[in-house]
Chains A and B, each alone.
Chain A
């Protein structure tokens, strides 16, 4: 069965650069959630989208923005990268009623040097 696809798997950027992470939910899922997990840290909720509209916002820095497109994939745009942005960024998708829980992507590991 198709899973949530994230790209790239790994990304290395320098300070002050920009990065774009992508998340493709499974078919029929209309909701996408983004999480950031720093080294040894719990996952932190960043932002979520339902039907291409932002549905909730967590601890997402102002330097980051995200959107969901008509095919329900989502992109997380990160600018002016800082060393502290190094983390695993993973997304999860669900249908709005969440009767079947979430499907998790494996994540993008971002390293800022």
Chain B
């Protein structure tokens, strides 16, 4: 079992829909990251969370430390949001390793 699990693996939605991507982890963490990667593109850092909730534009990220769970929400989704969204954690249990989820591939249809 992966230490960082994301769901769903793939998601197709219509433009304008509210999107939720989930991340669960099984290790103690000091921070959790949400990253975005467009096809053939580089890494874009969306959020770094250690508690609570953050909002940036149409993106909202939440984390529940007790439940070891984080969600990334996209409101009023747009085709340009189509990308792979990756959850990554900095583990307190493993020296100097970033643990990546396998990503969620999001496709927003116009």
Contact = CB atoms under 8 A, between A and B. Distances in A.
Nearest to B45: A104
Interface string B87-105: 0101000011110101100
A109 B40 contact: yes
Report the interface size class on chain A: 20 to 34
Interface stretch (A15-23, A59-67, A68-76, A86-94): A86-94
A100 B31 contact: yes
A25 interface: no
B76 interface: no
A106 B90 CA distance: 18
B52 interface: no
A28 interface: no
Given A45-B97, A94-B90, A9 B42 contact: yes
Contacts, number: 61
A48 B102 CA distance: 21
Nearest to A44: B100
The range of chain B's interface size is 20 to 34
A9 B40 CA distance: 12
B90 A90 contact: no
A99 B30 CA distance: 6
Interface string A24-55: 00000001010100000011010010100001
Nearest to A39: B40
Contacts of A101: 30-33, 48, 50, 90
21 contacts: A9-B42, A31-B96, A45-B98, A50-B96, A56-B95, A90-B42, A92-B98, A94-B90, A98-B30, A98-B31, A98-B90, A98-B96, A99-B31, A100-B30, A100-B31, A100-B48, A101-B90, A102-B88, A102-B90, A104-B33, A109-B42
